[in-house]
Amino acid sequence: MPKKKTKEKIVPPVTKADDQDVLVATTSYPYAKWKFEKFNPVQSRVMDFYDKETNGLIAASTSAGKTVVAEMFLSQEIRKRGGKGMFLAPLRALAREKITDWTDKNYHFSDLNISICTGDYRLTKERAKELNKANLIIMTSEMLNHRSRNYKSEQNNWLLDVGTLVIDESHLLTVPGRGDHLEVGLMKFTEINPNARLVLLSATMPNVEEIADWVSYSLTKRDTFMLRSKFRPVPLTTHYEAYYDVGRYDEVEEEKVNKAMDIIESYPDDKFLVFAHTKRTGELMKQTLRSAGIEAQFHNADLQADERAKVEDRFRNDPKLRVIVATSTLAWGLNLPARRVIILGVHRGINEVESHDVLQMVGRSGRLGIDPMGDAYILVPETEQVKYRQKLSKPNRIESQLLERVGDKQKTLAFHLVSEIHHGDIKTTDDVHDWYKRSLAYFQNKSLEETVVDSTMELLKKCGAVAEEDGVWTCRPIGKVSSMFYFSPFDVSDLYFNFRDLFNNNKEEDDYALSMALGNIDSQRMNIVSRIEKEEMGLYASKVRNMVKFCTDASIKAGFCYFNLLNGLNSQACAAFQRNLQFDFNRVSQVLQALDGFTAGWERDGFFKALEGRITNGVPAHLVDLCQIPNIGKVRATRLYDAGIKTAEQVSEAGREKIKGLLKMKDELIDEIMAKANLIALT
């Protein structure tokens, strides 16, 4: 008998294109207007397919005009096809920058309803209505995954109206700790909305063709138009500068700074961006520059958003500010180039900086329309300079991070599986493998062994996130809370057991015990703790080590920062980390209240709300009541409290003139304070 013919897989084609030498007039594009006359070679080629029923992947250098490409696809979607556009930014700060730009009254998007949905915005009923009405939605990859995984329970029907999804800096797929969120987010989004076009904007990585194939075949079953560009508007030269790397850590960091100073002083008329991989080295660089009479600012997480914006604006417009020292966050997408860029080494602590991060920093070299070219200087250790020259001359491949191990566990995979189990999309081992087949990891031949699935499910069972009966998995309350609030199931489990013990032992009024209940969780135990941080938290550490079993220096650091926030104290060494904990505590509070309501039965709603007030305002318990009034933070609350005005009701009773005299604020702010205080007094 003749053999049966097996049906071959039909793989949607990827059409490859090059830059277009004949530039197209921007007036040829009908759905938006720009101030420049002609599209560049990348944008001109995009004119061939922006209106086609295909996906797009544009791999081009920094400053090659990829934002305009995004606007071309999004404008056509909104104004011609009648669907919603969605734009994924790699960072919340960049999402906020985009909405500021696109809502400016002089921008061609200003007539659209534009909404932002990132981790610092709750999905309230009002926000859901806003997203339903929006023409254009700006998100991060984590938020796309979060909203897509809860699509049914949250009734996020606006996801179905998205006709074009643009993913900026899509090589984020290869970033440990973040790439898996984008990968799974795209898997989930295209499952619930298979008709949307995907447009990926990326740096020029070695295997962008493979990513285009994955998008075409695994995600969308649709053709993809891929442009791998060689165009760079400002020519770039990369230099490798060796520094002496033998000696103590502090001595080596000084060597890097001194090498950077030699370069900066050689070009006294040029603007520089200097990228530091640690805050400490950044501060040293800034102080060394200032000591040499060179005006410099340090752009880092310690600055508030408005402070960072002021630094960026000054750098663009004030010739006196020659140098910005920056952490690597500035390299991802912010439009702040300089004539020359210096990268202070290739290590962050003991870890090597990923080549894609270095590529982002190098790409900041050369200001379009200002500089004839850009120069980037990568400082490499003298003893290994050949190794790093070879490594950094070729960027790494984009690799899936879905099977990334955290410590010795598959916690990355577990984070995503628990949500699929919660929503009933995965019930058995076979379901796991079916789900995995749409992943980039599977497309890249990364095998998901049965032992990996079994050990991952054991992890989830052990922490109380899932249960198994007759080979079928179901979600327990800890897993449901994890899925609903986009929180690690292992962190949710630790919070549950930490606070159960806290309440059982009547320690909730003990700030040392309370701060460690918050800080001693799975995700905090693996963080790095510097010598200076250990010194600063030494007294706190000595008090809590005997109180808490199974804690690390890193979890003590988290507890120390929470203790500071609970008592209105500042930190020098841990300032940025403490601010991040404070900024994110709204989510932690939601998780604690959900645990209380779903499973624990602590009936501590008032306690958790007061706790949230203390942490988010950074004040001791006696100031929380005053801080619920608008325009009153720690400093003003302390001033009122010291004057004998200790509650919102007493603010109302004191009267407008007395409060104005104590706080010395503008009339309109005093009016807001009194209106809220009066409302609280009445209720």
Q: Quote the pLDDT of residue 73.
A: 98
Report how far Cα 328 is from the mean position of its chain's Cα atoms: 12
Q: Cβ(385)–Cβ(243) under 8 Å?
A: no
Q: Cβ(519)–Cβ(559) under 8 Å?
A: yes
Q: Cβ(139)–Cβ(118) under 8 Å?
A: yes
Q: Quote the pLDDT of residue 405.
A: 87
Q: What is the pLDDT of residues 216-241, one digit of tens each?
A: 999 999 999 999 999 998 999 999 99
- Furthest CA-CA distance within the chain: 100
Q: Looking at residues 144-166, what average pLDDT do you find?
A: 93
Q: What is the pLDDT of residues 335-382, one digit of tens each?
A: 678 999 999 999 887 788 888 888 888 988 998 888 899 999 999 999
CB atoms within 10 A of CB 79: 15
pLDDT band at 271 (very low <50, low <70, confident <90, very high): very high
Q: How many C-alpha atoms does 65 have within 13 Å on its Cβ side? A: 22
Q: Cβ(432)–Cβ(457) under 8 Å?
A: no
User: N- to C-terminal Cα distance for the chain?
Assistant: 87
Q: Quote the pLDDT of residue 11.
A: 67
- What would the two tokens of residue 534 be? 């250990």
Q: Cβ(511)–Cβ(519) under 8 Å?
A: no
Q: Mean pLDDT for the chain?
A: 91
Q: Which of 11, 167, 159, 172 is nearest to 84 (CA)?
A: 159
Highest mean predicted confidence (pLDDT) among 204-208, 291-295, 667-671, 673-677? 291-295
Better-scored residue on pLDDT, 227 or 680 = 227
State how far the Cα of 589 lies from the Cα of 614, in Å rounded to an integer.
11
Does the structure show a pLDDT above 70 at 333? no
CB atoms within 10 A of CB 187: 21
Q: What is the pLDDT of residues 369-382, one digit of tens each?
A: 888 999 999 999 99
What lies within 8 Å, CB to CB, of 4 at 6+ separation is none
- 502 burial (CB, 10 Å; 0-12 / 13-18 / 19+) is buried
CB atoms within 10 A of CB 485: 16
Q: Which of 313, 264, 308 is nearest to 289 (CA)?
A: 264
Q: Which residues of 287-301 are buried (b: 16+ CB within 10 A; e: fewer)?
A: ebbeeeebebbbbbb
Q: Which of 23, 193, 166 is nearest to 102 (CA)?
A: 166
Residue bearing tokens 């702040």:
336
Q: How many C-alpha atoms does 99 have within 13 Å on its Cβ side? A: 21
State how far the Cα of 116 lies from the Cα of 139, in Å rounded to an integer.
6
Question: What is the Rg, in whole angstroms, of the alpha carbon atoms belonging to the chain?
Answer: 27
Q: Quote the pLDDT of residue 221.
A: 93
pLDDT above 70 coverage of the chain, percent: 96
- What would the two tokens of residue 660 be? 């104005």
Helices (H) and strands (E) in the chain, counts: 29, 18
Q: Quote the pLDDT of residue 308.
A: 77
Q: Quote the pLDDT of residue 7.
A: 41
∠ CA 153-154-155, nearest 5°, is 95
Q: Which residues of 452-484 are buried (b: 16+ CB within 10 A; e: fewer)?
A: ebeebbebbeebbbbeeeeeebebbbbbbbbbb
Residue bearing tokens 């019930």:
427
Does the structure show a pLDDT above 90 at 265? yes
Alpha-carbon separation of residue 223 from 218, 240, 558 (angstroms): 11, 41, 48
Does the structure show a pLDDT above 50 at 4? no
Q: What is the pLDDT of residues 612-659, one digit of tens each?
A: 999 999 999 899 899 989 899 889 999 999 999 999 999 999 998 999
Q: Quote the pLDDT of residue 261.
A: 97
- What would the two tokens of residue 322 be? 């020659």
- What would the two tokens of residue 560 be? 């120390």
- Three-state SS string over 76-139 comes to HHHHHHCCEEEEEECCHHHHHHHHHHHCCCCCCCCCCCEEEECCCCCCCHHHHHHHHHCCEEEE
CA dihedral (132, 138, 143, 145) in degrees, to 10, reads 80
Q: What is the pLDDT of residues 531-562, one digit of tens each?
A: 889 999 999 999 999 888 889 999 999 999 99
- What would the two tokens of residue 294 be? 């060179």
Alpha-carbon separation of residue 511 from 132, 173, 277, 540, 580 (angstroms): 43, 40, 33, 11, 20
pLDDT above 90 coverage of the chain, percent: 72
Q: Quote the pLDDT of residue 313.
A: 87
Better-scored residue on pLDDT, 161 or 123 = 161
Q: Quote the pLDDT of residue 120.
A: 67
**Does the pTM of the predicted model rise above 0.75?**
yes
Does the structure show a pLDDT above 60 at 3? no
Q: Which of 440, 358, 364 is nearest to 396 (CA)?
A: 358
- What would the two tokens of residue 105 be? 């009254």
Name beta bridge partners: 85.
136, 164
pLDDT band at 76 (very low <50, low <70, confident <90, very high): very high
Q: Which of 467, 462, 473 is nearest to 426 (CA)?
A: 473
Q: Cβ(346)–Cβ(318) under 8 Å?
A: no
Better-scored residue on pLDDT, 683 or 78 = 78
State how far the Cα of 403 lies from the Cα of 314, in Å rounded to an integer.
43
CB atoms within 10 A of CB 240: 16
Report how far Cα 173 is from the mean position of its chain's Cα atoms: 13
Does the structure show a pLDDT above 60 at 5? no
What lies within 8 Å, CB to CB, of 665 at 6+ separation is 631, 673
Q: For 25, list phi and psi in degrees, rounded to 5.
A: -65, 140
Q: Looking at residues 508-525, what average pLDDT do you find?
A: 96
